[in-house]
Chain A
């Protein structure tokens, strides 16, 4: 281990300027096998503002942390640079170390010399030079770090859940168990959403009605949950801890507007099914072409001991299923929808749902002919592949079509045995054109984004290119929107099945409870701060800000200046870029810091700029 505090001459520090400690990690050999760590430490010790420069085999280990702790306790260092792995791995480790030792945890900067240096670069000289440059840039920023404090916002102990399908019900029930009051708003007269249209559910064959009964019963009998059915959210304003929603009750007896105060919002508005274009695969032209949901309702209606399934008064002897209707669409092949877009994405759920239905059909009607027209089978979930195997082994006949050449559907000639004639180029038989007779053709239609225009417009929520609501990060923050306090549950985020919807709903409930249980919210301090001495009151920042209410002008004449609502500001910095006097900065990410980093990067390798 190297300790350069005593062996290297200390550079002169200006009075009151923070003393920076540089801590360079070997990471076993992950870094030091490529980067000459000792050289980096020696060079870092010469940088202006650096008081100590040290290495450790594993800086995140107890001995590594102890080394930093001792420097704190001896009063040698004010601000800290850890040169190690990427910040997402151990930023919390080192920030917590500082906090435990009475140091503001925001006085820390990391130089990523593993993922962005020793791993992708192989020559020692070049990698070492780069590592030092990254450390020099980190030191330049660290010298300009100031203590920050989280933004504290009082929070209303209530969560608003928008949508009363399985995801909304699951989230509401979980939240109430965690001691959070819940208001659940559902647009339809009944709770349950799309699942009300389903029959037996995979993977355990539980009837949809049984699942919904349990979820609805739990919500309806919970005194901590207020349910408004037949009601629509018509407007939302506010910020984390303090949202206000306007809700219109459409019921004849209780029509009118109500106002709901909530600390967080869980969006559980679900999806809408793809509506095939008129005449697409014979839909709406031929009454025997139905969607999978329609067909499931037919199965429910025909439940019983009958050995024959009837439709339009006639026995059904042959059923065909078509996958990927309204999903995985291709430019030039499929017509854009009302929004001008095609649905390029896979709806994920339909393959399993279709094969599950085919297997149930086979069990109830052993003699029925069942055809499955698919492009690819994507039974991705645990146990889902079993349905494919089961269908394959029970005489479900598969035909594989290409997206560019979907099956053609026509009414069969009167003399034919079946009602519909399906013509398909079957790639399983070398592209041979095959004619198949069926009595019902079932379209496995995809999932599309629900109409969330009011919520999106009011809260400025991001949506993905396919129109579903967009979380901050698919892995690190999978149920959170960038707007603090707004969480996602279920298929409003992307096509999901019931299992996945409930999992995300429970995750959102826990996140909401974590926000609300303390009675106040502590937000990251990375929001815009105003230097009143520099603000000239131009108002350009307010015009540029994408968020309603984050910035507003106050005062008149020479006193006119901008004020920030830190609970709404998300730190995007759009305003910073248009301020002519640099009166606005994002705390922790200021332009001065960035410019100092750039200057450190361009500095001559042997030059040490101050």
Chain B
């Protein structure tokens, strides 16, 4: 796994569902609400598509934190959210075994108009990663 870069701001990957999280991010921008620019949002129909090793690979390659912004239990893909949540639980345990802070991967629900929730998740992850950078420096 990569060490978080002390100089560059941490890179946060946001896997946002097309039906909810991605539209919520758009709503945040439409409201001109500010959040850190070191955030990179990828549109995903359903994050269930990613195998467990996808997350480890992201962190190995240099992503510092991953937020999966899903539709939660109101996922339009029947059964997908439950599988996603169980999978991320397993990945979280995998991170622990690898000595990586579990907080670097977060699953949350962000709806199409959840601008406050979007900001909260992004800012919390950013604060956490910056704190980690400071502690390791």
Interface of A with B (CB < 8 Å)? 86-88, 112, 114-117, 119-123, 126-127, 129-130, 133-134, 137, 460-462, 464-465, 470-475, 481-483, 526, 544, 546-547, 570-574, 576-578, 586, 589, 591, 594-595, 597-599, 601-602
Contacts and interface: CB of A to CB of B under 8 A. Distances in A.
B37 interface: yes
Contacts of B23: 88
Contacts of A589: 44-45, 49
13 contacts: A116-B41, A120-B29, A120-B33, A123-B37, A130-B38, A460-B78, A462-B77, A465-B74, A547-B78, A570-B77, A572-B48, A591-B49, A602-B11
Contacts of A591: 49-51, 54
A121 B76 CA distance: 31
Nearest to B118: A120
Contacts of B28: 120
B13 A572 contact: no
B48 A573 contact: yes
Interface in B17-75: 19, 23, 25-26, 28-30, 32-35, 37-38, 40-46, 48-52, 54, 57-58, 61-63, 73-75
Interface in B63-103: 63, 73-80, 83, 87
A482 B49 contact: no
B76 A470 contact: yes
A137 B42 contact: yes
B112 interface: yes
Nearest to A480: B76
Interface of B: 11, 13, 19, 23, 25-26, 28-30, 32-35, 37-38, 40-46, 48-52, 54, 57-58, 61-63, 73-80, 83, 87, 112
A599 B41 CA distance: 13
A264 B33 CA distance: 42
Contacts of B48: 572-574, 577
Contacts of B76: 462, 470-473, 481-482
B26 A461 contact: no
B112 A598 contact: no
A536 to B, nearest CB: 16
A566 B30 CA distance: 36
A139 to B, nearest CB: 14
Given A115-B25, A473-B112, A572-B45, A577 B78 contact: no
B45 A526 contact: yes
A461 B79 CA distance: 9
Given A464-B74, A546-B77, A598 B13 contact: yes
The 5 closest A-B CB pairs, nearest first, are: A573-B49, A546-B79, A602-B62, A115-B29, A482-B76
Given A114-B29, A473-B19, A577-B87, A572 B35 contact: no
Nearest to A588: B45
B33 to A, nearest CB: 6
A114 B28 CA distance: 11
Contact of A119 (B32, B41, B45, B57): B32
Contacts of A482: 76-78
A460 B42 contact: no
Contacts of B51: 576-578, 591
A81 to B, nearest CB: 14
B79 to A, nearest CB: 3
Contact of A598 (B19, B38, B46, B58): B58
Contacts of A87: 43
B54 A594 contact: yes
Contacts of B35: 120-121
Contacts of A577: 48-52, 87
A238 to B, nearest CB: 16
Nearest to A110: B43
A119 B49 CA distance: 30
B105 to A, nearest CB: 14
Given A591-B54, A599-B61, A465 B37 contact: no
B78 A462 contact: yes
Nearest to A459: B78
A549 to B, nearest CB: 13
Nearest to B41: A116
Contacts of A602: 11, 61-63
Contacts of B44: 589, 594
B49 A465 contact: no
A381 to B, nearest CB: 21
A330 to B, nearest CB: 20
Contact of B37 (A129, A471, A544, A576): A129
Contacts of A576: 49, 51
Given A119-B29, A474-B112, A573-B48, A133 B40 contact: yes
Nearest to B15: A594
B41 to A, nearest CB: 5
A464 B58 CA distance: 32
A137 B11 CA distance: 14
A426 to B, nearest CB: 35
Given A116-B41, A574-B83, A586-B45, A470 B25 contact: no
B5 to A, nearest CB: 10
B62 A462 contact: no
Contacts of A116: 25-26, 29, 41
A140 B54 CA distance: 17
Given A577-B51, A577-B87, A591-B54, A601 B46 contact: no
A472 B19 contact: yes
